[in-house]
Amino acid sequence: MTLIAHVSDTHFDDGDGGRSAERAERVLSYLERLRRPVDAVLVTGDVADHGRASEYSAATVLRRLGVPLLQTPGNHDSRPEFRRYVAAAGAGPVDQIARVGDLVFALCDSSIPGRDDGWLADETLAWLDDVLAEGAPSLVCFHHPPVKIGHPAADRVRQFGAARLAEVIARHPNVLALLCGHVHSATASVFAGVPVLSAPGVASTLVLPWEGDGGLDRSAPPALAFHLYDAGRLTTFFVVPG
């Protein structure tokens, strides 16, 4: 049994008077109080709000749980600063592989420097194809969902070029799910025959078009997802820490 905490869009901001740090602290202290510790924490992007080195320094608080910390960059992250923060080698997209229990996590960089929408580079798709060819039960993680969620502002900055990703996913029946962030909302949909799940936001929550103006609610409490992998099945829970 493998238990993953999926946290997204922390938006650590060194100019917000401590607000983002306080919200991350609420999630961290909740995770520390669990009766059974999680096996890893996944952060699907927008770790920092402005991509500043000082914001990544603040984000290192996430390491204090002492479990593997798996992170992908988002549109608010700076690729060079994020690469330093996660100590990744190379240049170009920051793609990383992580193994937790029986699971393989393909941590893909869907960011496009200087833009808010997303795209998986050809080299990322080729890398992903190789990772999935190992045949292990796999979770494909990136910031930008590759599907429309029915929210105009979010859909304008989704991951484009997703037909290319669908071809890769279709070749590998070992993909359990796609795990995303970016939309600051707990959503579940289907892409290329597998679940696509987005974690709620820590920094703020998306106002749905049928709720209000479709902006971001900064007063809603931070929330997260748990993914429980057991006997070949993935079950996802969406939680608002009390």
Per CB under 5 A, residues contacting Fe ion are: 9, 46, 74-75, 182
Between 22 and 32, whose beta carbon lies closer to Fe ion? 22
Angle at the Cα of 66 (from 62 to 71), degrees rounded to 5? 45
Read off the tokens for 193: 């025959």
Q: d(Cα 173, Cα 160) in Å, to the nearest integer?
A: 23
Query: Which residues, at least 6 apart from 17, have a Cβ–Cβ distance to it below 8 Å?
Result: none
**Shortest Cβ distance from residue 70 to Fe ion (Å)?**
17
**Shortest Cβ distance from residue 136 to Fe ion (Å)?**
28
**Shortest Cβ distance from residue 9 to Fe ion (Å)?**
4
Q: Torsion angle, CA of 202/94/141/241, rounded to 10 degrees?
A: -20
Between 109 and 172, whose beta carbon lies closer to Fe ion? 109
Between 46 and 109, whose beta carbon lies closer to Fe ion? 46
Taking residue 100's Cβ as centre, other Cβ atoms within 10 Å add up to 19
Between 124 and 204, whose beta carbon lies closer to Fe ion? 204
**Shortest Cβ distance from residue 174 to Fe ion (Å)?**
28
